[in-house]
Amino acid sequence: MKRFERKKLEKNIIFRLENILQYVIILFLVTILMTQLLYLNKNFGVYLNNTYKLEGLRIEEYYNILNSGWLIIESSDENQSEILVNGRVIGNFENKSLKIFVKNNDVLEVNSTKDKRLLSFKIIMTSKNVEFPKVNYFITTDGNIEILGRVKLK
């Protein structure tokens, strides 16, 4: 008789543990489902995931590693050509040379559409942290817009 009661008690304990385990699994799955549903709402997603705060920011802006440098560009002679940084006119070559300040990944262009002749432009000096364009790098234009390159800083 004791043996029968013992088996019944063991079955009862196993049954209870099985029920507790089922409730824990169901609670866990409901928690995961609710968290995933909260991610659909952007307002709650910010609190659940810190990467949403970085959305739309450039990495350089976030880590504040925007260094700047300078370079001096010299023209073969005085002309009406313009230097563009990221599509904006910075200056012209009326004085044959031009010093410009640049940041990492700035795009440098020379617009010589006002002068319809063959011109050459050369980098004569840069700050120490400018990796590209290097000193003595040159391009020639023939009344067009030429890309000098993308600035790389160390």
**pLDDT tens figures, 60-113:** 554 434 578 899 999 888 888 889 999 898 888 888 888 999 988 889 999 888
Q: Is the pLDDT of residue 56 over 90?
A: no
Q: Which helix (H) or strand (E) holds 138?
A: strand 138-142
* 37 vs 31 pLDDT, higher one: 31
Kindly report the number of other CB atoms within 10 A of residue 127's CB atom. 15
Q: For residue 20, is pLDDT > 90?
A: yes
- Residues ≥6 apart with Cβ < 8 Å to 96: 74, 75, 77, 78
Q: Looking at residue 71, what is its pLDDT?
A: 92
Determine the pLDDT at residue 123. 92
**What confidence tier does 48 reach under pLDDT thresholds 50, 70, 90?**
low
- Give pLDDT, residue 8: 74
Residue 21: what pLDDT? 95
CA distances from 150 to 6, 101, 133 (A): 81, 13, 8
Q: Which two tokens stand for residue 135?
A: 């000193």
Domain boundaries, the chain: 2-54, 62-153
pLDDT score at 29: 96
What's the pLDDT at 64?
Answer: 39
116-139 pLDDT, tens digit per residue, is 788 889 999 998 888 888 889 989
Q: Is the pLDDT of residue 31 over 90?
A: yes
* Residue whose token pair is 């089922």: 22
Sign of the dihedral through C-alpha 103, 107, 108, 114: negative
pTM: 0.54
Three-state DSSP class for residue 71: strand
The contacts of residue 110 (CB under 8 Å, 6+ apart) are 73, 81, 82, 83, 84, 121, 139, 141, 145, 146, 148
Q: Which residue do the tokens 């009661």 mark?
A: 5
